Amino acid sequence: MKKILMIALLAVAGAFSAVAQKTAVVDMQYILKNIPMYESANEQLKQVSEKWQKEVEAKNNEAQVLYKNYQTESVFYSDEMKTKKENEIVAKEKEANELKRRYFGPQGELFKKRESLMKPIQDEVYAAVKDVAEKNGYAVIFDKTSAQNMVYYSSKIDISDLVLAKLGYSK
């Protein structure tokens, strides 16, 4: 009986020591918004995205103009000419879709541009979070903006300002 009680007591003590790990919360959106380089990169991405969107819209407009012209003039075309015009329209639409995919697709130019601009900033932030965590003895750090299952946190455990200070920025 004493042996079972001792094992249970040790198990409970072990569970409490595991729960007693130091945790903290960071707000990555807050941190990134306070880094001028991040805001600059976002602005660059916005400008490039708008430029590429205009190119895609121009191609789509060209296809629409060809289609409208075809609709109004198709009564005057021979079957051969109709087929040729239809193929032109399809080719222009395909060209617009290809351009859109190349710029905005999953592995498109915008994705690559975002990665090249943002990854160095994010790597620097994550390194600062890790450094702050190690120096302050935190075993677990949650990002409050992406932790969907976080119901509550105390602002006392938010180390976002420490991370910004580590990066050399202040609020």
Q: What is the pLDDT of residues 15-62, one digit of tens each?
A: 444 556 788 888 899 999 999 999 999 999 999 999 999 999 999 999
Host H or E run for residue 31: helix 28-33
Show the domain range for 84.
Answer: 14-167
Six-digit token string for 78: 């021979």
- The answer as to whether 98 is a domain residue is yes
User: Which is nearest to 45 in space by CA: 114, 136, 129?
Assistant: 114
- Number of compact structural domains in the chain: 1
Q: What is the pLDDT of residues 76-92, one digit of tens each?
A: 899 999 999 999 999 99
- The answer as to whether 89 is a domain residue is yes
Alpha carbon distance, N-terminus to C-terminus of the chain: 59
pTM of the predicted model as reported, rounded to 2 decimal places: 0.68
